[in-house]
Amino acid sequence: MPRIVYVNGRYLPHRYASVHIEDRGFQFADGVYEVIAITNGKLVDIEPHLDRLNRSMGELNIDLPVPRRAFGFILREVIRRNRVTNGSIYLQITRGVAARDFTYPEGLRPSLVIYTKSTKKASIETASQGHAVVSQPDIRWARCDIKTISLLPSVLAKRAATEEGVADAWFVNEESIVTEGTSSNAWIVTTTKELITRQTDNFILSGITRQTILKLASDAGLTITERPFSLKEAMQATEAFTSSSTALVKPVIKINGVQIGDGQAGRVTRQLIEHYLNYMDNSF
């Protein structure tokens, strides 16, 4: 069965799916994206994802390529045509095609590309497997709240992590504060069992998984504080994890070579993994 990709109104086999060389996404990374998890064939948190997409586009003054209500239909159609049960769907909107120039003309037709990725359904066991991270300087811009396709700092930080033999990196700013992961939000649990994640502002992406976990953690009666935490504090934490639509709740068991807790997913992290997997299972 060929993989099917949606490109500007057409459902094309993956190998024929392409965009113009003067698409501003290709030339300037002038575009935005979303990644939404799929569980049991259902989209997880589609409305908050579409809200964030809308906001990102508003901030960059890119028009909607199709009306908002059409997104749900197209996303589900791509899932159906690819027979995806578990995995994720990638959606990218760029400003459109124009002769290469930093200034852009009015009235461009935005490009819309959507495709899926199938993965095995996460279980408590697979989701609880932790990984190590290293810190990397946060060299990104001051609008990390916009989910743009301009991801070079994350590419370089992940590459640096790979070279150090670990799975991922956490960005740390000039004040030694952990901002977030290369493609995830960062969390720690303190010795006093306080769950901490950085508050949202223009220096991090407001993760949809982050929002959902905050709600699940609050429902579970956990003590939560949204505040900056330093790299030092993270390295002394009893638990650490990241959150994202693709990695879900991912235990972080080593930071810069220092073991966190007992080197396995901690109690609070496990509890949140369980709650989050249940939450995903109840998506509709």
Name which position in 94, 209, 238, 269 contacts ligand PMP (CB under 6 A).
Answer: 209
Q: Does 157 bind ligand PMP (CB under 6 A)?
A: no
For residue 133 the two structure tokens come to 């991270």
Residues 6+ apart with CB under 8 A from 171: 135, 136, 137, 138, 140, 153, 157, 178, 179, 180, 181, 182
For residue 282, the minimal CB distance to ligand PMP (Å) is 18
Name which position in 245, 249, 251, 276 contacts ligand PMP (CB under 6 A).
Answer: 245
Pairing, β 229-230 against β 131-137:
unpaired
Q: Does 39 bind ligand PMP (CB under 6 A)?
A: no
Q: Does 136 bind ligand PMP (CB under 6 A)?
A: no
For residue 146, the minimal CB distance to ligand PMP (Å) is 11
Q: Which stretch binds ligand PMP (CB under 6 A): 87-95, 124-132, 182-190, 274-282?
A: 182-190
Name which position in 12, 17, 29, 35 contacts ligand PMP (CB under 6 A).
Answer: 35
Q: Tokens 């609008």 correspond to what residue?
A: 143
For residue 210, the minimal CB distance to ligand PMP (Å) is 6
Instruction: Tell me, yes or no, if 147 is annotated catalytic.
Output: yes
Size of residue set near ligand PMP by CB under 6 A: 13
Decide whether 98 or 250 has the Cβ nearer to ligand PMP.
250
Q: Does 205 bind ligand PMP (CB under 6 A)?
A: yes
In the region spanning residues 225 to 244, those forming contacts with ligand PMP, defined by CB under 6 A, are 243-244
For residue 280, the minimal CB distance to ligand PMP (Å) is 12
Count the residues in the chain. Answer: 284
Q: Does 88 bind ligand PMP (CB under 6 A)?
A: no
Q: Tokens 């992940």 correspond to what residue?
A: 158
Name which position in 30, 138, 180, 239 contacts ligand PMP (CB under 6 A).
Answer: 180
For residue 205, the minimal CB distance to ligand PMP (Å) is 4
For residue 246, the minimal CB distance to ligand PMP (Å) is 7
Residue type, 257: G
**Which residue among 120, 121, 147, 215 is the active-site one?**
147
Decide whether 4 or 46 has the Cβ nearer to ligand PMP.
46
**Cβ-contact 141, 283 below 8 angstroms:** no
Q: Does 208 bind ligand PMP (CB under 6 A)?
A: yes
**Binding-site ranges for ligand PMP (CB under 6 A):** 35, 180, 183-185, 205, 207-210, 243-245
- Catalytic residue numbers? 147
